[in-house]
Amino acid sequence: MDAQSFSYLFVGLSFALYIGIAFWTRANSTKQFYVAGGGVHPVLNGMATGADWMSAASFLSVAGIVAFSGRDGSVYLIGWTGGYVLLALLLAPYLRKFGRYTVPDFIGERYYSKAARTVAVLCLIFISFTYIAGQMRGVGIVFSRFLEVDINTGVIIGMVIVFFYAVMGGMKGITYTQVAQYCVLVFAFMVPAVFLSIMWTNNPIPQLGLGSQLNDGSGLTVLQKLDQVTVDLGFHAYTGSIRSTLDTLMIIVTLMIGTAGLPHVIVRFFTVPKVSDARLSAGYALLFIAVIYTTIPAVAGFSRLNLTDSVNEVAYEDAPEWVGKWESTGLIAWQDKNADGRIQYRAGHALVPTKPQFTDARGQYGQRLLENAPSDSENEIYVDRDIMVIANPEIAGLPNWVIGLIAAGAVAAALSTAAGLLLVISSSISHDLLKSTFMPSITDKQELLAARLAAATAIVIAGWFGIHPPAFVAQVVAFAFGMAAASLFPAIVLGIFSERINKEGAIAGMIVGLVFSVGYIVYFVFINPHQNNADFWFWGISTTGIGGIGAALNMITAYTVSRFFDAPPTGVISLLKHIRQP
């Protein structure tokens, strides 16, 4: 069977599984729809959280980022996992004790204010839609690459599947589907990693393989070889860094508190039975995530070696088959600058502009010709970073079924995150805006219907974004984390640990944090993109790292403003006493 048939088979089987689960776990009440009835086992919730949070980007792109930037890429590994410590220690147990359905629920009650709740809903909707646009696009891209259907058709197929289990099953359906999706994606990620590790080091455990000696008899370890290869080709050493220490710190801090403030992750801890289960479940979630996140550096290192080995100084005509295949999809491009017919892989961008723009013509070796001007660099090859995971099975010469497996894994990663985000959007509309703010008289049945309608509407909007992606999707990921870090996280943490913060302080804090971070990102990404480099940044902090400063400003503002207004009413103090007990 060829790779494409395997992809159809595995993706089809996984879809059948998800729809089956959706039928089996239909939600009958708002409690089931919002928090799966509050009875999910901590281990299962850990798996669901892992799948919920690991997006198409985690599955496809992070290994590529690490492969191309070495140690500098680790900020994503540390930042995205370290947030779970904050979540488990500072948020999850108390929010579970609080025992309601949404994040704005907590902010609205703790700050005894509909205005605070509404600000929280707006932050949540903006964060979630920013994120989900990328996910739906991701589903489409995965379909187009593996199943060779049109991207838009892929988006629509994804919408239909998510519609089935998110609208019918709510949180209950999503949770059990995500458990299945975690199993699919961890298997899909680990199998090629183990193969790669054996191929280079004979060590079947990728985490250890990355530190082992190469099996080519050179006596070098994998990392020594990586450093040698990267320096030889003019890159910075793989295990070295070119980013400033302060910027590195701030990016890690922002990603950590941003992760802890992501509403679709927080809400997962509302679904377990007890407070202690919330702590335990966060531990399992991170354990399940760590299986993949400690494998990512190994996949990155091996695939960087593979790439260099199989293309550098190789004549285009003798290049492995996958080079031509991925060139035809636009993920690889080659421009023979020195007219020697061989591919030179060096540091620097190969093309100006950096993304390839193909003409219809073919060159003398059969390569696709480009409209791009050559750059000053000697580098002749453009490689999209996503290729590191997608093309791995072919680069490593793995059997066809592994390719099908990766297709199913990537679709699982994208769908599970999209579904989790859709749920928090729909619950914030039906529960926070309708039931708690504008239409308090609706019954449970009507609220459930409203939640389903909101989920359906959100899917359509998300799909529309997937088909007509805003040109800036890649840049706005910094937005989602910056906003979550600068708005929701400080408001929740201060709300739990301080008795003195009142509604005036909290609202002022959220607004200051948001305006500062969003303003900084908008200024550098949209208004003055040519100044978006370390020379102009405030203290050399990039847009990805600015949310940490926003969070600090939020906290300082909240404290200061709270001093000038009355302390919270006694009802809030007893609420605090209540959530602080197990």
H-helix or E-strand spanning residue 185: helix 168-201
Q: Find the Cα–Cα–Cα–Cα dihedral 28, 34, 38, 44, rounded to 10°.
A: 100
Q: Who's near 428: CB < 8 A, 6+ residues apart?
A: 102, 103, 104, 121, 124, 125, 263
Measured from the CB atom, the residue of 81 and 178 that comes closer to other proteins is 81
SS3 category, 359: strand
Q: Which two tokens stand for residue 196?
A: 């790669």
Task: Report how far residue 366's alpha carbon sits from residue 132's, in angstroms, rounded to the nearest whole number.
Answer: 39
Report whether 366 contacts 323 (CB < 8 A): no
* Phi–psi pair at 239, nearest 5 degrees: -90, 5
The span from the CA of 103 to the CA of 140, in Å, is 30
Closest CA to 34 of 471, 434, 406: 434
Q: How many residues does the structure list for the chain?
A: 582
- How buried is residue 361: exposed, middle or buried, by Cβ count under 10 Å (0-12/13-18/19+)? exposed
Rounded to an integer, what distance in angstroms lies between the CA atom of residue 427 and that of residue 35? 10
Q: Which is nearer to other proteins, 80 or 131 (CB)?
A: 80
For 18, 122, 264, 330, 564, the CA distances from 551, given in Å and listed in that order, are: 38, 17, 19, 40, 21
Closest distance of CB 261 from other proteins, Å = 16
Nearer to other proteins, 28 or 218 (CB): 218
By C-beta, is 276 or 443 nearer to other proteins? 276
Specify the residue, 7 or 45, whose C-beta has the smaller distance to other proteins.
45
- Residue 180 CB, nearest approach to other proteins (Å): 23
Handedness of CA 365, 368, 369, 370 (dihedral sign): negative
Least distance in angstroms from the C-beta of 171 to other proteins: 23
Alpha-carbon distance 148 to 451, whole Å?
35
User: Which residues have C-beta within 8 Å of that of residue 351, sequence separation ≥ 6?
Assistant: 333, 335, 370, 372, 373, 374, 375, 382
Q: Closer to other proteins at the Cβ: 144 or 244?
A: 244
Give the interface with other proteins as residue ranges (CB under 8 A).
66, 71, 74, 77-78, 81-82, 84-86, 88-90, 93, 207-208, 210-213, 221-223, 239, 241, 245, 248-249, 252-253, 256, 276, 279-280, 282-283, 286-287, 290, 293-294, 297, 577, 580-582
Looking at the Cβ atoms of 72 and 447, the one nearer to other proteins is: 72
CB of 548 to other proteins, least distance (A): 11
Angle CA(466)–CA(254)–CA(266) in degrees, nearest 5? 65
C-alpha pair distances (Å), 498 with each of 39, 208, 237, 335, 398? 30, 44, 46, 60, 55
Of the pair 72, 504, the CB lying nearest other proteins is at 72
Q: How far is the CB of 79 from other proteins (least distance, A)?
A: 9
Cα–chain center distance at 350: 28
Q: Could you give the dihedral angle defined by the CA atoms of residues 284, 285, 287 and 292, in that order, rounded to the nearest 10 degrees?
A: 150
Which is closer to other proteins, CB of 250 or CB of 370?
Answer: 250
Residue 48: CB minimum distance to other proteins, A:
17
**Nearest distance from residue 199's CB to other proteins, in Å?**
17
- Give the nearer residue to other proteins in terms of CB position, either 106 or 293: 293
Measured from the CB of residue 421, what is the shortest distance to other proteins in angstroms? 24
Shortest spacing between CB 450 and other proteins, in angstroms: 36
CB of 552 to other proteins, least distance (A): 15
* Min CB(571)–other proteins separation in Å: 18
Smaller CB separation from other proteins, 64 or 82 = 82
CB of 275 to other proteins, least distance (A): 9
Pick the closer one to other proteins by CB: 440 or 582: 582
Instruction: Report the candidate in 120, 117, 108, 121 with the shortest Cα–Cα distance to residue 571.
Output: 108
3-state per-residue secondary structure call for 252-275 = HHHHHHHHHCCHHHHHHHHCCCCH
Give the residue with the Cβ less far from other proteins, 445 or 577.
Answer: 577
Give yes or no for a contact between 236 and 70, defined as CB atoms under 8 angstroms apart: yes
CB of 272: closest distance to other proteins in angstroms? 12
